[in-house]
Amino acid sequence: MADTAMKATLEQKFAEVFGDLEGTKVYFAPGRVNLIGEHTDYNGGHVFPCALTIGTYAVARKRNDKTLRFYSMNFEHLGVIESSIEGLKPEKEADWTNYPKGVMWAFGEKGMKVEAGMDLLLFGNIPNGSGLSSSASVEVVTGFILRDLFGFDVTNQDLALIGQYSENNFNGVNCGIMDQFAIAMGKENNAIFLDTADLSYTYAPIKLEGAKIVISCSNKKRGLGDSKYNERRSECETALAELQTKLSIKSLGELTEEEFEANKDLIKDPVRIRRAKHAVYENQRTIKAVEALKAGDITLFGQLMNASHVSLRDDYEVTGIELDTLVEEAWKIDGVIGSRMTGAGFGGCTVSIVKDEAIDKFIDEVGKAYLAKIGYAADFYVVSIGDGPSVIA
């Protein structure tokens, strides 16, 4: 749906729910997909995400009192959820509104107190629970709205850091910086080559002549907080501490493959060796993948995507039968340049680069094989790379 049609639909719903449209503005923040570099962002490595043209739309206005009224068109059965800008804290019954509330709280923690309430209507066209970062998209759009309505002096990069801070400290998910950064700093037709150790980044044009990015959603629901995400993170932290008994490094991302192999015996547990190996090798794969892209070698880029999936499956063990089925079926199809799981894993999505002429066959054959093996259907999205957050005029 074009932005103008979307805007009209959202405004109509806002007027229906909140009475009128006076003082409202319409906003958008994208979702993101990571092309390569998975579970490296909290290990001081590189990631290579891009913003998408699907994401979170919001209609917002400032109120004259302290009341917060939230409504989501994705969870209409919950109706309007009310709270106050005073005494913000996470509450189970607050459901999805803990994400925007967390950002408001985080602004206050950073010395920018939100003094007035607001009415906020959201609609996301990111598949829920897909791993395309609907939560980070909500966080960034909320931060963008606060900056716009209250005049806070923050950059888009600040919005990413505030979103991460709120998710870590308000919502209790120990996420890295990648999702919020990719969304806040998105640029059309470019992916972001980000060094998570120091937040230095460059934009890399994605030129997929004759091919498209296809996202396959497993439709297996997962919750980040209760997945094994935090467990993997602590395994890597322990492995790093063991390596630091001899090496003066701050993160696993500082090691080359050779340095890791020469010192891996410092890690006392075979499982932790595999986890650390993934972090080191995946970081190097990401660096090589961006070089391949700059050299116009999309075939090598695809091979590195495939190798990334194998490492996530065998060394990091975060894929599961759903994602493995989607990727292994994709690999069988002529015209698939590369395919891998993306996001935290344990459900969510895969990302594939598919030649234009093979897309219909890809969706048909991968879809049939998945349904036959898993027992329920996958969804497929042919996506474009979009910009960061914006006001829809």
Taking the CA atoms of the chain, what radius of gyration do you get in angstroms?
21
3-state SS, residue 51: strand
Q: Give CA–CA dist 331/308, Å, rounded.
A: 13
Q: What are the pLDDT digits (tens) for 284-302?
A: 999 999 999 999 999 999 9
Let me know the angle formed at the C-alpha of 131 by 118 and 31, rounded to the nearest 5 degrees: 50
Domain 3-206+387-391 has CATH 3.40.1390.20: no
Q: What are the pLDDT digits (tens) for 21-44?
A: 999 999 999 999 999 999 999 999
Q: Give the whole-number percent of the chain exceeding pLDDT 90.
A: 88
**One fold for 3-206+387-391 and 211-383:** no
Strand locations in the chain (E): 25-34, 46-47, 49-62, 67-72, 81-84, 118-124, 190-195, 200-205, 211-217, 336-342, 349-355, 379-383, 390-391
Q: Roughly how many angstroms between the first and final C-alpha of the chain, as a whole number?
A: 16
Please state the rounded mean pLDDT for residues 168-196: 93
Residue 119: which residues within 8 A CB-CB, separation 6 or more?
14, 18, 24, 60, 61, 63, 69
Please state the rounded mean pLDDT for residues 203-223: 88
Looking up tokens 């043209």, which residue turns up? 53
Spatial CA neighbour of 58 closest among 17, 119, 1, 107: 119
3-state SS, residue 64: coil
3-state SS, residue 30: strand
CB 229 within 8 A of CB 41: no
Q: Give CA–CA dist 282/308, Å, rounded.
A: 6
Q: Is the pLDDT of residue 89 over 90?
A: yes
Spatial CA neighbour of 104 closest among 92, 95, 115, 96: 115
Strand order from edge to edge, sheet including 390-391: 81-84, 67-72, 118-124, 49-62, 25-34, 390-391
Please tell me the CATH code under which domain 211-383 is placed: 3.30.70.890
Please state the rounded mean pLDDT for residues 226-240: 88
Q: Give CA–CA dist 117/264, Å, rounded.
A: 53
Catalytic residues: 179
* pLDDT attached to residue 267: 98
- Extents of the domains making up the chain: 3-206+387-391, 211-383
Chain-wide mean pLDDT for the chain? 94
Q: Is the pLDDT of residue 128 over 80?
A: no
Q: What are the pLDDT digits (tens) for 346-392?
A: 888 999 999 999 999 999 999 999 999 999 999 999 999 999 999 99
Number of alpha carbons in the 13 Å side-chain half-sphere of residue 77 = 1
* pLDDT attached to residue 225: 45
CB 182 within 8 A of CB 50: yes
Band the pLDDT of 226: cuts 50, 70, 90: low
Please state the rounded mean pLDDT for residues 114-143: 90
Please tell me whether the overall predicted TM-score, pTM, comes out greater than 0.75 for this model.
Answer: yes
